[in-house]
């Protein structure tokens, strides 16, 4: 081989390596599941300044503002219908569902957020625990999410929960947003094998070129 031929060989291999690395990084990095944050939560039946909240005619509506955020820099997210379940926990032994809301399926571009600001009519909140300083609710989000990357197009299950403490104003105690987290087992890392395969293929290519 001439010197120049060798030069070209090296240049081409370097370009091949760079391309392989970019492909692996952009298309095959494991996407993060979207995040769900409760920014506002108001239960008018638990607002003690509201006279009607002391009667059986108390407004049973929960108002909430939830942020759905796709944290990935290079992948859009396909959401199945997002089911939001509100449970009331009047004491340690008792948890019951008081309301549900479903966000229709949608697509979200990379790094984008969506706010769902809605009122849900609930059943059975008042007049439990009127004397307590705060009441506890559990908010659960259940959906399936897939991504624009070919390796992660198939939708994976996402189930996250958080407890929300509501004070005597009917609003959540914490001023800052409450992020929902996974509770128990998810379905593990997806498509790890594809990343490994790609890595092996690019290394093998390298050896062939050298
Ligand atoms: C609670 O009820 C009072 C009286 O109706 C009302 O003025 C106040 O705005 C309510 N609190 C919230 C957080 O909406
Ligand atoms: C209950 O409260 C919600 C939100 O605060 C309001 O939109 C709705 O009109 C109220 N319903 C009644 C029956 O007062």
DSSP state of 81: P
User: Which of 40, 42, 44, 49 to probe ligand 1 with, by most ligand atoms within 8 A of CB?
Assistant: 49
Give a yes or no: residue 68 inside a domain.
Answer: yes
Domain count, the chain: 1
More confident residue, 190 or 19: 19
Where in the sequence is the domain holding 90, given as residue range(s)?
A: 32-187
pLDDT in tens, 16-44: 988 888 777 766 678 999 999 999 999 98
Catalogue the E-assigned strands of the chain. 35-47, 61-69, 77-79, 82-91, 94-103, 106-108, 113-121, 135-147, 156-166, 169-171, 178-179, 181-182
pLDDT in tens, 59-92: 889 999 999 999 999 899 999 999 999 999 877 8
Using a 6 Å CB cutoff, which residues line ligand 2? 44, 59, 61, 63, 119
Going by C-alpha positions, the residue among 108, 129, 123 that lies closest to residue 46 is 129
Separation of 59 CA from ligand 2 center, angstroms? 6
pTM for the model: 0.77
* Beta bridge pairs of residue 137: 88, 164
- Whether the CB of 3 sits within 6 Å of ligand 1: no
Task: Determine the pLDDT at residue 180.
Answer: 96
Give a yes or no: residue 209 inside a domain.
Answer: no
Task: Determine the pLDDT at residue 6.
Answer: 83
| End-to-end Cα distance, the chain | 13
29, with CB counted inside 10 A (0-12, 13-18, 19+), is middle
Give a yes or no: residue 181 inside a domain.
Answer: yes
Ligand that comes closest to the CA of residue 59: 2
Task: Determine the pLDDT at residue 102.
Answer: 98
CATH of the domain at 176: 2.60.40
More confident residue, 48 or 28: 48
Give a yes or no: residue 207 inside a domain.
Answer: no
Give a yes or no: residue 127 inside a domain.
Answer: yes
pLDDT in tens, 152-183: 999 999 999 999 999 888 899 888 999 999 97
């Amino acid at each position: 081989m001439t010197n120049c031929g060798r030069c070209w060989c090296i240049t081409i291999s370097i370009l091949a390596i760079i391309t392989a690395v970019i492909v692996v990084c952009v298309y095959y990095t494991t996407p993060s599941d979207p995040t769900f944050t409760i920014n506002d939560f108001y239960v008018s039946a638990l607002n003690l300044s509201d006279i009607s909240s002391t009667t059986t005619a108390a407004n049973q509506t929960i108002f909430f503002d939830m942020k759905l955020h796709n944290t990935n820099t290079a992948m859009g997210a396909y959401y199945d219908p997002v089911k939001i379940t509100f449970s009331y926990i009047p004491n340690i032994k008792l948890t019951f569902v008081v309301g549900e809301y479903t966000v229709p399926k949608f697509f979200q571009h990379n790094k984008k957020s969506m706010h769902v600001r809605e009122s849900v009519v609930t059943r059975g909140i008042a007049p439990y625990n009127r004397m307590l300083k705060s009441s506890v609710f559990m908010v659960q989000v259940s959906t399936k999410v897939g991504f624009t990357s070919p390796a992660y197009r198939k939708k994976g299950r996402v189930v996250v929960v958080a407890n929300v403490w509501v004070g005597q104003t009917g609003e959540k105690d914490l001023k800052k947003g409450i992020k929902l987290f996974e509770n128990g087992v998810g379905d593990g890392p997806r498509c790890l094998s594809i990343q490994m395969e790609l890595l092996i293929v690019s290394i093998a290519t390298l050896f062939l070129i050298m």
